[in-house]
Amino acid sequence: MSLVIGNDAETAAMEYLQAQGLSLVARNVHCRWGELDLIMQDQQALVFVEVKARTSERFGGGLGALTYGKQQKLRRAAQWYLARQTNPNMACRFDVVTLGLSDQSCTWIRNAF
């Protein structure tokens, strides 16, 4: 997947979530454990959003790419991020937004893991 497609997918996911009432906190946060695509605020919860875009659903589509190892990296990256915040004990969750590039579908999975 090219950087342009990834950036466009993240923008589409961000706009979709904003239309659902979430607000953007940060985007493309990098640390030694990886990248947090989107960090959004949903009322009192901080939401770490992994964005997956795929041209087809073969091999499990976007959700199939979210392996246990990837989930662990995201958890560590989120812990790193939270440790640098003024309220590191705030409620948080991990959501996934999958985008189907061929059919323009968007699926939001709350509390994905």
pLDDT tens digits, 40-86: 999 999 999 999 887 655 544 556 668 899 999 999 999 999 999 88
Domains of the chain are: 3-109 (3.40.1350.10)
> How many whole angstroms separate alpha carbon 25 and alpha carbon 96?
16
Position 109 pLDDT exceeds 70 = yes
- Percent of the chain whose pLDDT exceeds 70: 82
CB 79 within 8 A of CB 48: no
| Cα 41 to Cα 39: distance, rounded to the nearest angstrom | 7
Choose the weakest-confidence range: 26-30, 100-104, 107-111. 100-104
Q: What is the pLDDT of residue 59?
A: 47
- The answer to whether 40 and 17 are in contact (CB under 8 A) is yes
